[in-house]
Amino acid sequence: MIIKGTKILVSDNSGGQITQLINSHGQAKLGNIAKVSIKKVKGRKRVYPGFLCYALIMQVKNKHVRKDGSALKFDTNRCILLDNKKLPIASKLTGFSTHELRIKKMTKIISLTRYCF
């Protein structure tokens, strides 16, 4: 679970590198959409420092237990950046997508990732 003010790494090619969580309803969990601010960028791309956008939480350090009893735990907190229509800004995503995104019917995001488990 991620709380307000947490720094989150970006795992797409939108240009953002580090974001900070600004607003989420309660605590942001795996598969939730939250409002973030870009803190650090990689070159000049689609985003810039101070840019406000939405982010989909893809990986969390805290253990996430599924209904079947299996658990997921990642090394870092990672997200992908979304525009105001909740579509990805990037054209390519790095890292993994989880089955929770398939349940929430985010097929556009699943199609951009390489691995889904």
Strand boundaries in the chain, DSSP class E: 7-10, 16-23, 33-41, 52-59, 64-65, 71-72, 78-82, 96-97, 115-116
pLDDT tens for each residue of 70-115 = 998 999 999 999 999 999 999 999 888 888 888 888 888 888 888 8
pLDDT tens for each residue of 18-27 = 999 998 888 8
72: helix, strand or coil: strand
What's the CATH fold of domain 7-91?
A: Ribosomal Protein L14 (2.40.150)
Cα angle 94-95-98, degrees, rounded to a multiple of 5: 125
Q: Which residues contact 74 (CB under 8 A, 6 or more apart)?
A: 59, 60, 61
